């Protein structure tokens, strides 16, 4: 797993600044005022810092931006990173500042002169989140060198505030690594093995194989993977940090490790991106890791259905009718609408076994959601206003885009089948909505439920605020926040 950049917190020691050989970072507020550390640096560089701050580049910069004063005379440092940050910066600016430092540092050691700055932990979180590179498949991966030392007035307090944030970052890194991995490396078996290793963090982890899934009646899930040589699996991860009798929150993830579309074969162009079709399961895994690392005082169960959708002589065909674990029959019109067939059985199993207080499923489910929302927001569908509003608030707080989409009977009617209880698609129009309507048929009355279509946000072609191009880890922070806000006991 990709490791986080080591970040430590110490008391301010002005005498260390001149001889530090890495990069030194200082904060300057929008008015150009220098704090104690910045004034010390300015004196060492004979006013070059003040001249930079008084110039047009700083005037045009935004909160969170970093300007570079390279090879400063009078210091051993290779550069001084001048970060535009208000003294009472909000969370977004603080995290953006940290991300800016991650982009400038390369592999150098960094000394951050934070002084009395607010939100030091959030700056550290932004740095940790952005300082990521997936190198597992490189023949000569670059060493992740360098460490970050944050000098501040209250290091113990900053360290305590940063600890749960670093748990989120580690969970997001786990999600990114899983989502970035190629399908010949992240098979259903290796995926399950990596999740089983989280027993070391205190999670109860069970891996259900095909024989067990057949006994349970998970026929729709099994039909998706029957064309592949990779065995289908369901992994159940339980975190029991709350009261013994409290019903858990259930997180359910789609884990299609590669999606060819099956017999309804996808076009060849871009198919290589279908390694990320397990993104929903990756987010569930990352969220469970984060909750375990920070010892969340809540009961949460994460369930992921792991399959590979391949064409073969044994693959499910368009026109086949499959009986779900619930007992409803599904006419498979398009084998490329496979994620909902995986999720519906796992969702039903989650409710039958755990009787959850709420259930959230996550999936890179439809291309239609990208047409509607682009890569800025995940689609949010829900049968419960309270749970939905709480999630939207959590996502907004964490800077993870999410937008509520509609549900309704007219959309549901599009799933009617002549020969079975339902079809697995409703046609081209409102494809993301009819997919959600399909899943809602497997939500029991009284179960608060959210469906998150993360096809547009799980992996992207260009960098985001806190992640380089590729897998983003979207959702780990928002789900952690939701658990904290709504399900965690005092």
Q: List, by residue number, the catalytic residues.
A: 266, 340
Report how far residue 75's alpha carbon sits from residue 191's, in angstroms, rounded to the nearest whole number: 48
Report how far residue 486's alpha carbon sits from residue 263's, in angstroms, rounded to the nearest whole number: 43
Q: At what angle do helices 155-180 and 120-130 cross, to 10 degrees?
A: 20
Nearest to 473 by CA among 177, 191, 78: 177
Strands (E), 249-377: 249-259, 299-309, 321-323, 329-331, 358-363
Nearest to 129 by CA among 84, 90, 97, 152: 97
Report how far residue 484's alpha carbon sits from residue 104's, in angstroms, rounded to the nearest whole number: 33
Report how far residue 344's alpha carbon sits from residue 315's, in angstroms, rounded to the nearest whole number: 19
Task: Tell me if 39 sits within 8 A of 127, measured CB to CB.
Answer: no
- The burial of 319, by beta-carbon neighbours within 10 Å (0-12 exposed, 13-18 middle, 19 or more buried), is given as exposed
Nearest to 172 by CA among 46, 56, 288: 288
Report how far residue 432's alpha carbon sits from residue 430's, in angstroms, rounded to the nearest whole number: 6
**Those residues with Cβ within 8 angstroms of residue 477's Cβ, 6 or more apart along the chain or in another chain:** 168, 172, 398, 399, 400
Task: Tell me if 472 sits within 8 A of 394, measured CB to CB.
Answer: no
Rg for the chain, CA atoms, rounded: 24
Nearest to 274 by CA among 283, 286, 287, 262: 262
- The burial of 229, by beta-carbon neighbours within 10 Å (0-12 exposed, 13-18 middle, 19 or more buried), is given as exposed
- Secondary structure tally for the chain: helices H, strands E: 16, 19
């Amino acid at each position: 797993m990709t490791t986080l950049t080591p970040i430590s917190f110490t008391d301010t020691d002005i005498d260390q600044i001149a001889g530090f050989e890495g990069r030194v970072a200082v904060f300057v507020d929008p008015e150009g005022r220098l704090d104690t550390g910045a004034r010390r640096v300015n004196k060492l560089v004979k006013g070059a810092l003040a001249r930079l701050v008084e110039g047009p580049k700083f005037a045009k910069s935004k909160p969170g931006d970093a300007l570079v004063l390279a090879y400063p005379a009078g210091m051993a440092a290779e550069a001084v990173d001048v970060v535009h940050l208000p003294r009472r910066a909000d969370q977004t600016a603080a995290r953006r500042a940290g991300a800016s430092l991650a982009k400038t540092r390369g592999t150098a050691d960094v000394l951050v002169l934070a002084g009395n700055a607010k939100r030091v932990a959030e700056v550290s979180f932004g740095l940790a989140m952005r300082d990521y590179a997936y190198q597992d498949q490189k023949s000569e991966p670059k060493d992740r060198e360098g460490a970050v030392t944050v000098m501040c007035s209250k290091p113990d307090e900053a360290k305590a505030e940063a600890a749960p944030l670093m748990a989120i970052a580690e969970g997001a890194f786990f999600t990114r690594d899983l989502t970035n991995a190629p399908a010949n490396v992240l098979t259903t078996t290796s995926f399950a093995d990596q999740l089983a290793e989280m027993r070391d963090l205190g999670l109860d982890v069970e891996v259900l194989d095909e024989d067990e899934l057949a006994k349970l009646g998970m026929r729709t899930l099994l039909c998706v993977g029957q064309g592949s040589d990779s065995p289908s699996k369901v992994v159940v991860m339980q975190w029991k940090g709350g009261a013994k009798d409290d019903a858990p929150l259930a997180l359910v993830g789609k884990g299609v490790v590669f999606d060819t579309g099956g017999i309804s074969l996808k076009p060849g162009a871009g198919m290589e991106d279908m390694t990320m079709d397990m993104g929903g399961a990756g987010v569930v895994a990352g969220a469970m890791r984060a909750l375990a690392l920070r010892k969340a005082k809540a009961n949460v169960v994460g369930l992921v259905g792991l399959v590979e959708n391949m064409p073969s002589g044994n693959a499910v065909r368009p026109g086949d009718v499959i009986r779900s674990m619930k007992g409803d029959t599904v006419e498979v019109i398009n084998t490329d609408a496979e994620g909902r067939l995986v999720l519906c059985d796992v969702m039903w199993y989650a409710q039958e076994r755990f009787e959850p207080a709420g259930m959230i499923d996550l999936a890179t489910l439809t291309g239609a959601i990208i047409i509607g929302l682009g890569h800025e927001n995940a689609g949010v569908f829900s049968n419960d206003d309270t749970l939905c509003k709480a999630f939207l608030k959590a996502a907004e707080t964490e800077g993870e885009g999410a937008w509520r989409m509609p549900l309704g009977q007219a959309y549901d009617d599009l799933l009617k089948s002549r020969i079975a209880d339902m079809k697995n698609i409703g046609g081209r129009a409102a494809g993301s909505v009819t997919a959600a309507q399909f899943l809602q048929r497997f939500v029991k009355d009284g179960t608060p439920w959210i469906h998150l279509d993360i096809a547009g946000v799980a992996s992207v072609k260009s960098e985001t605020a806190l992640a380089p191009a590729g897998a983003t880890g979207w959702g780990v922070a928002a789900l952690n926040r939701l658990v904290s806000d709504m399900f965690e006991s005092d």
